A and B are shown apart, each in its own frame.
Chain A
Amino acid sequence: DTGVSQNPRHKITKRGQNVTFRCDPISEHNRLYWYRQTLGQGPEFLTYFQNEAQLEKSRLLSDRFSAERPKGSFSTLEIQRTEQGDSAMYLCASTKQENYGYTFGSGTRLTVV
């Protein structure tokens, strides 16, 4: 069990550029979640997958955001045409059982300048 891995740890990008983050969950975990955390706030749900199927997207997620989980393994979160308001920590979590408690990665901190 190597934990949930997220890459990169930090990303600085210019406004209008596209960025992509990767999450590698714990191998036997079939559920994968993306959360966004801004300074001084708790994480907010963005989207989640059961295996390769994306089950729900939050209304917080604009059309500029897209997530995939090909073959039910790693997941990517892409933000197109980044805006300064996208600056946040993006957290990935996975779980094997829904009410067991998620395992979170260390997050990707995005700064849009």
Chain B
Amino acid sequence: GDSVTQMEGPVTLSEEAFLTINCTYTATGYPSLFWYVQYPGEGLQLLLKATKADDKGSNKGFEATYRKETTSFHLEKGSVQVSDSAVYFCALSDPNNDYKLSFGAGTTVTVRA
């Protein structure tokens, strides 16, 4: 079946530090990959996505590249801000599973001023 494994948190950083959250996946089909962000008390917001190998998704300074050879989709940001404090979820959508989203457990990121 499909599964997503992401780096355990919590992660605490200082403002302007570099952020990396590792994500690897297994899927029976050729999935699309996503990063979602969840702020306290809110639902999930799509941060970025990639639908095929070597695609790079980017948004708000965050980037992630779809690496089929390593089955990975690591999230990176070069200089974080306090407002980036949130829970980040890696997810996949597998055509062999009728495109239902499968999520990782989430990584809590706290950025300190």
Interface residues of A in 14-63 (CB under 8 A from B): 33, 35, 40-45, 48, 55-56
Contact B100 A33 (CB under 8 A): yes
B6 to chain A, nearest CB (A): 9
Residue of A nearest to B6 (CB): A42
Residues from chain B with a CB closer than 8 A to the CB of A100 are: 49
C-beta contact mask, A86-113 vs B, less than 8 Å → 1, else 0? 0000010100001111111111000000
B interface vs A, CB < 8 Å? 4, 32, 34, 36, 42-46, 49, 51, 89, 91, 93, 95, 98-106
CB nearest neighbor in A for B30? A99
CB of A57, distance to nearest CB on chain B (Å)? 12
Interface class of chain B by DSSP:
strand
- Size range of the chain A interface in the assembly: 20 to 34
- Which B residues lie within 8 Å of A44 (CB)? 103
Is the pair B103, A43 in contact by a Cβ cutoff of 8 Å?
Answer: yes
Q: Are A41's CB and B105's CB within 8 A?
A: yes
The 6 closest A-B pairs by CB, nearest first: A42-B103, A98-B99, A104-B43, A104-B44, A106-B43, A99-B32
Rounded to whole Å, the gap between the CB of A73 and the closest CB of chain B is 20
A residues near B, CB below 8 A? 4, 6, 33, 35, 40-45, 48, 55-56, 91, 93, 98-107
Given A91-B43, A98-B98, do A40 and B106 touch, yes or no (CB 8 Å)? yes
- Having A41-B106, A103-B46, one finds 6 other A-B pairs with CB under 8 Å, namely A40-B106, A43-B44, A43-B89, A56-B98, A91-B44, A98-B99
Min distance, Cβ A6 to any Cβ of chain B, angstroms: 8
Closest A residue to B47 by beta carbon equals: A101
Task: Determine the chain B residues whose CB is within 8 A of the CB of A40 once the complex forms.
Answer: 105-106
Question: Can you give 9 A-B contacts (C-beta < 8 A)?
Answer: A33-B100, A35-B101, A43-B89, A44-B103, A91-B43, A98-B98, A99-B93, A103-B46, A104-B45
